[in-house]
Chains A and B, each alone.
Chain A
Amino acid sequence: EIVLTQSPGTLSLSPGERATLSCRASQSVSSSYLAWYQQKPGQAPRLLIYGASSRATGIPDRFSGSGSGTDFTLTISRLEPEDFAVYYCQQYGSLCTFGQGTKLEIK
């Protein structure tokens, strides 16, 4: 099983700042089958990024993904108030596993 470790656990930033979230895999994620999800309280997760760097339909271009192999990054270029949420990475190259999440909170 591929284990995904996200860092930091909590990230405290202000609106307008840049956010950088990390996801590290215990072994290489094949074909960059890595996705990112956003979850707000009381809601289902929403797909943001798939294939490590492709934005899902309707996702603003301030969200971008990068990386390959075992190291992946989600960047939010300029935080909007609605971006404060929990973010999960997920690999789907070998069945499916999720990271433990990064909580992005308002500073």
Chain B
Amino acid sequence: EVQLVESGGGLVKPGGSLRLSCAASGFTFSNAWMSWVRQAPGKGLEWVGRIKSKTDGGTTDYAAPVKGRFTISRDDSKNTLYLQMNSLKTEDTAVYYCTSVVVTPTLDYWGQGTLVTVSS
């Protein structure tokens, strides 16, 4: 059974940093492209960024609102995905979901999400 479990969310002040983790199991993590998607309270889904498998180059892509502030990385030896968030803004407040591309060509598995609140 595929499982994605996010951790690391919490309350942080504007300008601060936070690192989210996503522990993956039930599939070959090293082969999977992984993404982060966020959802502000009461709002829709917003793609944050992705990291390809090392076989496919291991490169990253980001949405415009987070480019230059957020960094996605992976540790295939630990089956873990990371999201390093710097220079946080109040508008980054959201539930952050870890997602994987395993069976289909798109985001077919999702974690339950972790809440990040940016507030003074």
Contacts and interface: CB of A to CB of B under 8 A. Distances in A.
Contacts, number: 60
Of B35, B63, B110, the most chain A CB neighbours within 10 A belong to: B110
Nearest to B95: A44
B103 A33 contact: no
Q: Chain A interface mostly helix, strand, loop or mixed?
A: loop
- Interface size range on A against B: 20 to 34
A100 B50 CA distance: 20
B83 to A, nearest CB: 15
B104 interface: yes
Interface of A: 1, 33, 35, 37, 39, 43-47, 50-51, 54, 56-57, 88, 90, 92, 95-101
A88 B44 contact: yes
B106 A95 contact: no
